[in-house]
Structure 1
């Protein structure tokens, strides 16, 4: 068995498993990619031990905490870890690389497994994520796909990826379509930290010598912020403008947002946010269409009165290379049309 050595975040690959020994709540907020959660203390137990530490003593906290940790480790050994062979090599981490992962590593090594501890724990990994985004974002050869609302930009990205291009799907990682009506029904957005972890993981996987296609996002997607180094790179990158006719865009939007008709009241409530921009009369008309489920009338006016008038101005403000953009006609936004569009965009490499 190899000796017990601290592992740095960049050396985390090559283990049979990555075990997060923190509580389920800590794990839910963010965790190392591919990690499984084997908490040595539950959320409630960790709170209890913390209270003992403050109100009684460090010894009392360790005595009670030690018993709880031992009981939880016994459960993991009898459960998820019961079938692991002697050759199994896990990497274990907690918040700071302290007692929680330390005690787990000690027990796993006593069993006979070559368990290692992540030096500095999740906090060190978090610093690594921020460092990777800062280091890699400026090096990306980005192709920013832009286009008026309903131009099927996200689908074009998916088609590009299917054709072998490198794609950074920020809306997919954010689980949000990026617009006022972009929340996905029944799907919560990840935490800001987990969003950044996913971005760093994607950047680490790219070949920096090849282009990366990305949608022209604003600095926020739903309630998440796109990391500043990536926003800066996006703003300076080459643009590809998808130009689809209004009728084709409307038909695409009606397919892509059909689910908004399922909860008409929620849709009407969201439209209220536009009152300041468009006035009560217009928004009330839109809300009446929402309540009636008349999405064709609603989307047609939203496109013409809300999205399209500001499109050119906002793009010019946001993208330094807007005036030199490459324009691509998209007469057909059916699946076959989108696949053809992606082939036209894909730089011959």
Structure 2
């Protein structure tokens, strides 16, 4: 085996290194990367595109000639900035897409300086295979308590309040940057890529103690544009359900507070509601549009709950969650901050 090549069989092996240096372009790094790694690209996005075009349209030699110049310039910059304070015993792991020339170039130079730099065999693709394997196995070890309840029951807030009481929680909507419904898009917060979502999810899962219960909110297979891994959704659907039965008035009040950012942009809200046209028909969409334009928010929210969200919720829970047939049920008419904290206390005692 070459002394500058690192072969890892499990994600825990990554902890043997002092630092993980990802030399892929910023766009590749933004799509997904090993948690905690640092991006020191040897080709930036523009340079990578230029080299790739030369490779396809001119020749591999022409691409390598200009690529080598860019790589040398960029590595020199990283040596002067990021690596200049590293001591003699620093041991980094260098990662590119598949353990090829980009990571090999930086590894070679770091080793010539005197550091025990290692190049990850298989690169990011090795990491990605290990993530997929772990997500197929780790969720099945967990004992899940699933917080159920119709839209507007404050499930996410209750879950967070449970976490503040020292219980283990898995907040999928926070990881996905989405509230999980057609109106769940968060302002100024893009969802991560599917790969990044799975990396973030795995980081949380590996930190959980499987000997202790874990609370999670009931979700569908998709949260916005992101897919919940199969092993996790199956474990959730087999978990014990705790159902919040909140009054319609308390749910309307809660949603008006929790989605207050909609109130300042009716046009954006109407564009989202348009996605419901096939399910609810043109007449309902026109009526809801009138509510929004007239700032009749309470009427709009109440109808959305009663005509759209509640029927969907009842069908989904009964079909998908085994524990929903005999859940622990908690009734409330108070979804204020104090009411949510009281529910969290009751859940922690009842679960």
Q: TM-score interval w.r.t. the shorter chain?
A: over 0.9
Q: Which runs of 5+ in 1 are unaligned?
A: none
Q: Which residue of 2 aligns with 1:83?
A: 85
- Partner SS, residue 262 of structure 1: coil
Post-superposition offset of 1:244: 1.4
After TM superposition, the structure 1 stretch with the greater mean CA deviation from structure 2, 67-76 or 158-167, is 158-167
- Note if 1:74 corresponds to 2:80: no
Q: Any residues of structure 2 matched to 1:112-261 within 5 Å, and which?
A: 112-261=114-263
Gap change, CA 1:82 and 1:292, over 3 Å in 2: farther
Post-superposition offset of 1:347: 5.5
Q: Which residue of 2 aligns with 1:103?
A: 105
Gap change, CA 1:299 and 1:82, over 3 Å in 2: same
Provide the rounded CA distance (Å) in 1 between the counterparts of 2:75 and 2:157.
45
Indicate which of 65, 68, 88 corresponds to 2:67.
65
After TM superposition, the structure 1 stretch with the greater mean CA deviation from structure 2, 332-341 or 148-157, is 332-341
Give TM-score scaled by structure 1 length.
0.94
Indicate which of 93, 113, 117 corresponds to 2:95.
93
After TM superposition, the structure 1 stretch with the greater mean CA deviation from structure 2, 41-50 or 221-230, is 41-50
Gap change, CA 1:293 and 1:77, over 3 Å in 2: farther
Post-superposition offset of 1:14: 4.4
Provide the rounded CA distance (Å) in 1 between the counterparts of 2:272 and 2:350.
43
Q: Any residues of structure 2 matched to 1:46-65 within 5 Å, and which?
A: 46-65=48-67
Give TM-score scaled by structure 2 length.
0.93
| Counterpart contact for 1:268–1:291, Cα < 8 Å | no
Give the aligned CA root-mean-square deviation in angstroms.
1.9
Gap change, CA 1:288 and 1:343, over 3 Å in 2: same
- Partner SS, residue 93 of structure 2: strand
Q: Which runs of 5+ in 2 are unaligned?
A: none
Provide the rounded CA distance (Å) in 2 between the counterparts of 1:80 and 1:290.
52
Q: Which residue of 2 aligns with 1:6?
A: 6
Q: Which residue of 1 aligns with 2:281?
A: 279
Q: Which residue of 1 aligns with 2:316?
A: 314
Indicate which of 28, 32, 36 corresponds to 1:26.
28
Provide the rounded CA distance (Å) in 2 between the counterparts of 1:165 and 1:319.
22
